[in-house]
Amino acid sequence: MMDAEFSRLNMTPTRDFCGILDTLVMARQMHPGARASLDALCKRYGIDNSHRELHGALLDAEILADVYLMMTGGQTDLALGEDESDSEVVELDLGDIHVDAAALKVVRATNEETAAHEAFLDLIDKKSEGALWRRS
């Protein structure tokens, strides 16, 4: 997703300036034949994910960070920069971003797509006993 957005801005794809690590591949290599789902890895490493009732990108990313730390056997939390004497400032110059707003194509959902989306939101609302975004 990020590479697609960067290419729209005529910028370098992310893989050219930062490494990418696939934790699913890593887990399968470390534990061949074992389940490698996030829930299975939480159970394997004793990470509490009981507050994970619904799938959500932010919550899953936070849990995966804990799993990654346990998989690598290094630090046990993400407390970054506590000891400022060890901290290093890294600057990344992405250059000036110029976007011609008039050239951006706006794609609007059709009535059918909007109805399907609303139906899906209704289902989420029903399954979650009241979605947050629909509360007053």
Residues recognised as catalytic: 55
DSSP state of 103: G
The amino acid at residue 5 is: E
Go through 36-72 and write b for each residue having 16 or more CB atoms within 10 A of its CB, e for each that does not: bebeebbebeebebeeeeeeeeeeeeebbebbbbbbe
